[in-house]
Amino acid sequence: MRRASSTLAPSFLSRALASSVSVPYHHRPLLQAALYGSGGGGGAYSRRADRRWFARLLDSPRAASLGIAGALFATSAASAALSGEVLAKEPPSPEVVPKEVVLYQYEACPFCNKVKAFLDYYDIPYKVVEVNPLSKKEIKWSDYKKVPILMVDGEQLVDSSDIIDKLDRKILPEKSAKPATKDDDNEENKWRRWVDNHLVHVLSPNIYRNTSEALESFDYITSNGNFSFTEKITVKYAGAAAMYFVSKKLKKKYNITDERAALYDAAETWVDALNGREFLGGSKPNLADLAVFGVLRPIRYLRSGRDMVEHTRIGEWYSRMESAVGESSRIKA
Ligand SMILES: N[C@@H](CCC(=O)N[C@@H](CS)C(=O)NCC(=O)O)C(=O)O
């Protein structure tokens, strides 16, 4: 099966796409700063401590008497999400958490976003090096010419699914105790393959569907990617125009006649797979939940993502995932 780069077209424009799209990130820092007062650096560990403090505050009689918790929960969907986040995250025990994790990425590369969803959910602090998709100078040192590349305590890991498998076994001792054979037919693996082989291919035709959506996507790409000032201007307009045409080719290549219908169909297929469960993993997300969430997160607040939530049943699961994955564990430089 073809994967990866086939999603995003084999040119600099595909690489530019790879560095795209997610509005929650625009808003989250403000929300987090407001709630956690996190303006002062402090890194992921202190943010986690702040979250615990916040969770304790919500539970405390003092908060109840002040009516803080009630007011927050009554008036803010974001607060509800945050309370879920605190409860749902699965931080591994400190001795198995890698000491230094560095992700080489394009901001909106779906494969990079799968890895980030995993790191965020397990609360593993990581630094990000945004790769310039034109020069790729940040990964010149590596023989591997794609992203994501994850450096874990000095060891290079490549390929999103392999990265996640290796980390998963590292941080979850009960999994590493099992033999290393892959059960390709289990439900979780089946849906992880569906993400790589189907879902990712539906995204580009949607986010570049027409000129305004292509510009919306490239606006995000150029604001978050690693571009010089001149590259920003060129990439935004030339990229949006070209990806509009490339996305038409991708539609043909993947037999997509109506891109929105394909996106809605994928969303519905996923909800059917959940079969009434909170998550595919049951009461908590498994690697397939994290993969679907990871690739959808960059588009969720673009026009295509908003349409998807409005026209399908995926919204409730997506909100549960937002709460479960919670705040990013990325260490700000
Ligand atoms: N199978 C790989 C695919 C990675 C991949 O294709 N990444 C794209 C970005 S989304 C890439 O780096 N393409 C090469 C390029 O941009 O030059 C994975 O799952 O990590």
Give pLDDT, residue 175: 73
Cα Dmax for the chain? 61
List, for the chain, all residue ranges whose pLDDT scores fall below the cut of 50: 1-86
> Quick one: pLDDT at residue 178?
66
- Nearest CA among 263, 285, 294, 289 for reference residue 112: 294
Determine the Cα–Cα distance for residues 52 and 38; give it in Å rounded to an integer.
13
237 annotated active-site: no
Rounded to an integer, what distance in angstroms lies between the CA atom of residue 163 and that of residue 114? 10
Q: For position 184, what pLDDT does the model report? A: 66
8 lines ligand 1 (CB under 6 A): yes
| CATH code reported for the domain at 94-176 | 3.40.30.10
The reported pLDDT for the residue numbered 332 is 85
Distance 12 CA to ligand 1 centre (A): 12
How high is the pLDDT of residue 42? 33
**Cα–Cα distances in Å, from 309 out to 265, 289, 302, 305, 313?**
12, 16, 11, 6, 7
Residue nearest to atom 5 of ligand 1 (CA): 4
| Residues 300 and 309 sit within 8 Å (Cβ to Cβ) | yes
Residue in 36, 54, 104, 112 annotated catalytic: 112
- Other CB atoms within 10 A of residue 266 CB: 24
Number of H helices, E strands in the chain: 18, 4
Q: Tell me the pairing of strands 149-152 and 155-158.
A: antiparallel
- The whole-number pLDDT of residue 264 equals 98
Of 146, 198, 246, best ligand 1 pocket probe by most atoms within 8 Å of the beta carbon: 146
What confidence score (pLDDT) does residue 221 get? 83
DSSP 76-108: -HHHHHHHHHHHH--PPPGGGS-S-EEEEE-TT
For residue 133, which atom of ligand 1 is closest to its CA? 16
Give me the residue spans of the domains in the chain.
94-176
The single residue of 106, 118, 208, 227 carrying the catalytic annotation is: 106
The confidence score (pLDDT) of residue 263 equals: 98
